[in-house]
């Protein structure tokens, strides 16, 4: 198969934020062609947005159901290969299920669904169909995050003992949702965002990052969940103690009211012999700390990195790669996997290393568990999936 | 009064760690003369150490009781003005009480005593005698920590909402106490260290720093306390959620098993309009973050700092001041206060700004509360003093 | 005109470095379609590369002349709009001239040509044809570099007095060209690289950055040019004192033998009241320093930035943008300019802010002047264009 | 000999800057007693300052000649062991010569004298008398600077090829000397400061640091020397290309008009296999960079450091040591040397590692050579001593 993959986008019209990010990420490597879209629930926005993206008029749809039906009915040499769903949380599940049923691979923004049960259904459907699904936990696409995971996996630092993961933001320090901010509006609305605010929006990222980097699973947690800004309907701040399945413990912090903070996701993991530290503000650096020798600065693009880091790097060392490249890596690995499967080949391990339905189910379980724990007077809560 | 103050030291012989640090700190400003000492419980070490410090032979004592009695019996123009107690935790209370009773001012290493009750007795005695007591929470001696406190106090950032304070160390990642390390040995021994290990040793510093910088008091906490290294007798790792008396919440992390970490105490405090960040590894910098304008880098020695920061600075901006200067600031402020009182003057506010018995009582209460919470199955525990 | 622009690439086959970078940069925003290529001088590589890029077979060419002739002969609704020339230095001029003569806009890697005279001819041709030419001085595409320029231009720091610009690399610390490294091989070969090695490869970037950020022009220089690695044919290290047309002075440093350095281009500019500092390793930060108030940290994506910085930013603050986005900004501005001109509109100032023939001529003049000065025993040399 | 050394200070009265710094540095380790002083040329200031420092009235002198004569006439068990000269540059030579002639060891602020010839005379006198002289190039007292020197000396990085040293300050960005600033006043006055301004004040530090760390000597230089602020009488800005006696080259930058800069002395040295980087703003870190493996972060107090770094460290890793400790190390090593010689012992190599007359002579030669080069139209100038 020597052609670009064909795709459609659901959501992500001209006023949306994350849709545009997806498009940069998927365009970057020149492996995909955006050929269809149901870009907005507002027909005029859907059409205008489709035109801005140079879509053929007949493939600019005004609702996702029509899109999926019409595309499914197209001949194989024209039909899309996958669909990207970049709508608010409450409109993830249905289009994803329908797409899978129509035989399309799926990319979906996180959190995967509105409820844990939906996530499980989606997982079952993916397993049933054998199709691929990418869940966009972007931070795991950074080369130095992959390096951290591989380094820990190598055992060089011994058994993992302690995990600190944090995601401080400040943008919800005021009641933005009452000031007409569209992003704030749906993200703080239980009907569109779900059970959790900050915990769903960024807590899930922190949780996913911790499980990804360590290769461990959380078994218990104890959470302190707060609504700090008066008048807000969902949590905007929280923290959780974590217990992992190897006996390690951890602390997770996620807040949207740390006024003055941007988006400095950070993770530190300590084993018996040393630790690793990565933070988004210095995304091309991985610090490797040792009990008895100098800390080492691992850098994106250097020759000593693992094949997983190298596979997710585009330019030589010293040319900083950022958030969009990390996002692009999710797409690239998903696309390489889809392409390999279409060609009847086994995808490389490095390609298969992208977040999918398992991460989706655990993320939704995190939302449930962390909110439940926040409301509980008992300290430790078992992590139930 | 135009002379150096005269002092004695209890503990701090030639093999001890913190005693040498105290001496550098107190020598720095040329305001004190070390004239007497009971520097070790081992007589030969006490004598050799006294000689190394150029003490007169008759003022080299081999036990603190004799020291305090003999010194108290000396004529006023020869007698010491204060005593520094730098022994392990379980030998703080008795010499301190006796010194106060003999009319001497007191400097004492933290934690102030072995039990909360002793701390309260010491506080009562200080109040009764009108003497001065310095408790060595060094981190509050840094100019940029003082700047942080004053900045928050000014109200420029609005009401405080969130506090993150952390103290990661790695030096106890192995069972050093079984390998003959003297520091590790007493610090992990309940008989000499007290109820807590890491929580007493460094958790109290983090707790003190949080209360000092914010000007708030902790009212509730929820702790996760761990013994990570097998065979250890006291906690070497822990974290606590905090509630403060203005409604703010916080997270405190202190560990001694973060392999590869040195001593990077760090505090972040967020108000409605911005936040401050300070860490010991970049001690001469205070970051001031804003919701809507660029983060500012406040620097030790700059003209725009508060009088409290300026008072605790020795050299112009750009000449880094470190841990020993911060420690020296505790002594300097204590000495200026003692001197002022001896001269019948009211000490300046900047001089009075050093940790004392209140901080000591709250620190001991923290040890009790955090360990109790760690053992409890109930989430939140009221902070009892 | 509602379609993607169509382009061809000359050079940049499967084994080349910079061609792949160009493709990511130009794909990123979904505004261009790569439809033709003469991707290698080796026919089999040209064909294989064309296939890998999904080009139509009839538009995979094996030499640039055929490409330009055939494309020029195509109907307007199929013909390319511009061509990207990503060949080694000695194959820049001829294809660029021919493309302009055929009516195509041109993107060209730096240095613009092999000789200064060629650069002047190209400039004349661009002015004559009214076509657009983009010269890829990537560093000027970073949002915070643009912010630095605008900030200095605002006059907030007063008259510019001092400029430090540096570009330290270490990759040529050994005689890589003798070890079969293709990049090293042509870059250190006078026949393919030109009069200068390091000065042409990275010195020109530093020079361009200094003139761009300050808005000043160099009038005199004094250079120390070295071949450090034995056996090398061109300079691999150098420095130059600079005089600018407003009386300011500067120091430029560029080296490829700073073993252990990656690519940390850095510029500092000081005016009467403060200074700015930017470096590629922390590309999303611009430090603004003041004589009498705290240094400010300007950040990509923040609301307080100039329209020029904002125009070149793709994601909100806190999501790091890197080298590829900076490169993408060059393309984006060039494309927006080309598109505006095709639509008969005046491009916005923010779009026109990309390097072109003037920068190319000055860059080639820098190469001449700096090498001449390096060979001279007289200290100061007038900068001759 | 079991007593503190006794010393006098010349200059450094209550309004002076550097005298107070000296006192902190020398007090720190409790090895010295300040017993005499001629602290100011103004008698009333000399007396008031002496009282503030608790000197005996009879040892408060109002001129240095009387001090040196009277102290020399005292009995051996009372007489000073050394004198610290902290006066402006033009009052260094005479008291130093007289002190040496009277048999006293000498500490002297840099630059060592007013002219190169005086420096040579002082060197001859020191060699003749066998006494010790400390010249206060503070930056070489930092543990991580010593580590850098030892690391390079070990040969781990191969032959040294390139040196970048810089000392950017901003405090003379305005004509402070016309605004009554005492420091600015004498430092910019040829009659009190000498032939050079910035080059003498901070250029000599940069020069000394480069020669100290590399163990090399400058053989040629080419300088660009400027007076940037109108009305100033001495250079406030400059840079120099350097050639070293092993064939390495370098760039030295020193300026006092980099508005917004504090005192961030920085040195980078590159060998065949890697490089080292140290800067005062992060004084407890030494970066060791490698061609083909991760950069390492060496830290003050860590067990892997050389004996020279360890010898100059007072507290465990993670407790930052600063400028005053570096200064204290100069005094400590000088004192240990003086004490060893008084005891008829050979001082340890680590103790002898402090700047003295050789560094003084080379520093004065630097001033001459760099100013001469600045005025010359010939590019390279041999470094003449």
B136 domain residue, yes or no: no
Residues B222, A379: C-beta atoms closer than 8 Å: yes
List of chains touching D (3+ CB pairs within 8 A)? A, B, C
Contacts of A297 in chain D (CB under 8 A): 294-297
D164/D308 same-domain check: yes
Residues B162, A228: C-beta atoms closer than 8 Å: yes
Residues B319, D263: C-beta atoms closer than 8 Å: yes
pLDDT at B1 over 80: no
Count Cβ–Cβ pairs < 8 Å, chain B vs chain C: 32
Residues A294, D293: C-beta atoms closer than 8 Å: no
**Residue by residue, what is the 3-state secondary structure of C304-362?**
CCCHHHHHCCCCCCCCCCCHHHHHHHHHHHHHHHHHHHHCCCCCCHHHHCCCCHHHHHH
Q: Which of D95, D92, D12 is nearest to D60 (CA)?
A: D12
D164/D296 same-domain check: yes
pLDDT at D139: 97
Does A261 contact B at CB distance below 8 Å?
yes
Q: Which of B303, B298, B264 is nearest to B284 (CA)?
A: B298
Residue after which a domain boundary falls, among B131, B158, B189: B131
Residues C291, D228: C-beta atoms closer than 8 Å: no
D94/D184 same-domain check: no
* Cα A301 to Cα D94: distance, rounded to the nearest angstrom: 60
* Cα C5 to Cα C10: distance, rounded to the nearest angstrom: 17
Q: What is the mean pLDDT of residues C315-319?
A: 94
pLDDT at D1 over 80: no
Contacts of D288 in chain A (CB under 8 A): 294
Query: Which chain B residue is nearest to residue D264, measuring alpha carbons?
Result: B318
Residue after which a domain boundary falls, among C131, C163, C195: C131
Contacts of C379 in chain D (CB under 8 A): 222, 376-379
Residues D259, C295: C-beta atoms closer than 8 Å: no
C117 domain residue, yes or no: yes
pLDDT band at C89 (very low <50, low <70, confident <90, very high): confident
Contacts of D163 in chain C (CB under 8 A): none
Instruction: Choose from D147, D291, D295, D304 for mutation: most chain A CBs within 10 A.
Output: D295
Does A378 contact B at CB distance below 8 Å?
yes
Does C237 contact A at CB distance below 8 Å?
no
C109/C147 same-domain check: no
- Give how far Cα C329 sits from Cα of A282, B224, C353, Å: 21, 49, 10
C321 domain residue, yes or no: no
pLDDT digits 0-9 by tens, B9-43:
999 999 888 899 999 999 999 999 999 999 999 99
Does B304 contact D at CB distance below 8 Å?
no
Give SS3 for B3.
Answer: coil
D357 domain residue, yes or no: no
Instruction: Choose from A259, A269, A275, A373 for mutation: most chain B CBs within 10 A.
Output: A259
Distance from CA of B170 to the nearest CA of D (A): 11
Stretch (H or E) spanning B278 = strand B274-279
pLDDT at D3: 94
Contacts of C284 in chain A (CB under 8 A): 322
pLDDT at C182 over 90: no
* Cα A31 to Cα C381: distance, rounded to the nearest angstrom: 51
The total of structural domains in chain B comes to 2
pLDDT at D15 over 90: no
A168/A281 same-domain check: yes
Contacts of B230 in chain A (CB under 8 A): none
Contacts of B255 in chain A (CB under 8 A): 162, 270
- Give how far Cα A245 sits from Cα of A164, A242, A365, Å: 16, 10, 16
A334 domain residue, yes or no: no
pLDDT at B64 over 80: yes
Distance from CA of A294 to the nearest CA of D (A): 5
We report the CATH number of the domain holding residue A106 as 3.40.50.720
Contacts of B317 in chain D (CB under 8 A): 262-263
Does A297 contact D at CB distance below 8 Å?
yes
B332 domain residue, yes or no: no
C44/C181 same-domain check: no
D76/D199 same-domain check: no
Contact in structure between A261 and B289 (CB atoms under 8 Å): yes
pLDDT digits 0-9 by tens, D169-198:
999 999 999 998 888 888 899 998 889 999
Q: What is the mean pLDDT of residues B212-241?
A: 98
B234/B92 same-domain check: no
Query: What's the pTM value of the predicted model, to 2 decimals?
Result: 0.97
C119/C164 same-domain check: no
Does B258 contact A at CB distance below 8 Å?
yes
Judge residue D281's burial from the number of C-beta atoms within 10 Å of its C-beta, 0-12 exposed, 13-18 middle, 19 or more buried. Answer: middle
Residues D260, C274: C-beta atoms closer than 8 Å: yes
pLDDT at C2 over 90: no
* Structural domain harbouring C190: 142-315+362-382
CA atoms within 13 Å, Cβ hemisphere of C261:
27
Neighbouring CB atoms inside 10 A of C147's CB total: 27
Question: What phi and psi values does residue D22 have, to the nearest 5 degrees?
Answer: -55, -45
* Cα A175 to Cα A56: distance, rounded to the nearest angstrom: 41
Contact in structure between B86 and B53 (CB atoms under 8 Å): no
The shortest CB-CB distance from A296 to any of D292, D296, D299 is to: D296
Does C272 contact D at CB distance below 8 Å?
yes
Instruction: Choose from A222, A260, A286 for mutation: most chain B CBs within 10 A.
Output: A260
Instruction: Choose from D294, D297, D318 for mutation: most chain A CBs within 10 A.
Output: D294
Does D170 contact C at CB distance below 8 Å?
yes
Distance from CA of A256 to the nearest CA of C (A): 13
Distance from CA of B144 to the nearest CA of D (A): 14
pLDDT at B193 over 90: no
| D245 Cβ contact list (under 8 Å, min separation 6) | D216, D217, D218, D219
We report the CATH number of the domain holding residue D238 as 3.30.360.10
Does D73 contact C at CB distance below 8 Å?
no
Residues A283, C320: C-beta atoms closer than 8 Å: yes
Does D156 contact A at CB distance below 8 Å?
no
Does B291 contact A at CB distance below 8 Å?
yes
List of chains touching B (3+ CB pairs within 8 A)? A, C, D
pLDDT band at D128 (very low <50, low <70, confident <90, very high): very high
A297/A148 same-domain check: yes
Q: Is the peptide bond before A111 cis (omega within 30 degrees of 0)?
A: yes
Contacts of D239 in chain C (CB under 8 A): 241, 251
C110/C212 same-domain check: no
| D183 Cβ contact list (under 8 Å, min separation 6) | D17, D176
pLDDT band at D260 (very low <50, low <70, confident <90, very high): very high
pLDDT at D138 over 90: yes
D234 domain residue, yes or no: yes
A203/A106 same-domain check: no
Does A148 contact D at CB distance below 8 Å?
no
Q: What is the mean pLDDT of residues D69-82?
A: 97
Instruction: Choose from B2, B18, B28 for mutation: most chain D CBs within 10 A.
Output: B28
The shortest CB-CB distance from A315 to any of C30, C169, C323 is to: C323
Among the residues of chain B, which ranges form H helices? 18-27, 43-52, 64-72, 93-101, 116-129, 143-153, 182-187, 190-193, 198, 204-214, 307-311, 323-342, 349-352, 357-375
A201 domain residue, yes or no: yes
Residue after which a domain boundary falls, among D64, D96, D131: D131
Does B49 contact D at CB distance below 8 Å?
no
pLDDT band at C377 (very low <50, low <70, confident <90, very high): very high
Listed as ranges, residues in chain A with pLDDT below 70 are: none
Q: Is the peptide bond before D111 cis (omega within 30 degrees of 0)?
A: yes
């Amino acid at each position: 198969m020597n052609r670009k993959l064909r795709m459609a986008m659901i959501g992500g019209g001209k006023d949306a934020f994350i849709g545009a990010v997806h498009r940069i990420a998927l365009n970057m490597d020149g492996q995909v062609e955006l050929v269809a879209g149901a870009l907005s629930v507002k027909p005029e926005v859907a059409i205008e947005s489709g035109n801005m993206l140079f879509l053929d008029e007949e493939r600019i749809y005004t609702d996702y159901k029509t899109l999926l039906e019409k595309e499914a009915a197209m001949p194989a040499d024209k039909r899309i290969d996958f669909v990207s769903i970049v709508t608010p949380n409450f409109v993830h599940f249905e289009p994803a299920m329908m797409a899978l049923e129509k035989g399309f691979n799926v990319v979906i923004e996180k959190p995967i669904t509105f409820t844990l049960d939906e996530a499980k259904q989606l997982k079952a459907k993916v397993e049933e169909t054998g199709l691929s699904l990418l869940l966009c936990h972007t931070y795991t696409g950074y080369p130095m995050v992959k390096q951290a995971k591989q380094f820990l996996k190598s055992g060089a630092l011994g058994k993992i003992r302690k995990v600190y993961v944090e995601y401080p933001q400040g943008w919800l320090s005021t009641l933005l949702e009452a000031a007409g901010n569209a992003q704030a509006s749906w993200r703080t609305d239980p009907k569109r965002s779900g059970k959790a605010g900050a915990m769903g929006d960024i807590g899930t990222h922190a949780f996913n990052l911790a499980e990804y980097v360590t290769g461990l699973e959380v078994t218990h947690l104890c959470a302190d969940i707060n609504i700090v800004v008066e008048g807000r309907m969902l949590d905007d701040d929280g923290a959780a103690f974590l217990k992992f399945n190897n006996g390690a413990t951890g602390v997770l912090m996620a807040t949207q009211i740390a006024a003055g903070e941007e988006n400095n996701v950070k993770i530190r993991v300590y084993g018996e012999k040393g630790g690793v530290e990565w933070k988004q503000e210095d995304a091309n650096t991985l610090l490797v700390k040792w009990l008895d020798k100098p800390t080492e600065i691992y850098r994106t693009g250097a020759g000593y990195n693992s094949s997983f880091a190298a596979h997710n790097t585009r330019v030589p060392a010293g040319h900083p790669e950022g958030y969009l490249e990390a996002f692009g890596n999710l797409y690239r690995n998903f696309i390489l996997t889809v392409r390999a499967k279409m060609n009847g080949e086994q995808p490389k391990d490095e390609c298969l290393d992208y977040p999918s339905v398992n991460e989706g189910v655990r993320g939704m379980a995190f939302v449930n568990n962390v909110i439940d724990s926040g409301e509980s007077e008992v300290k430790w809560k078992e992590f139930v999936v």
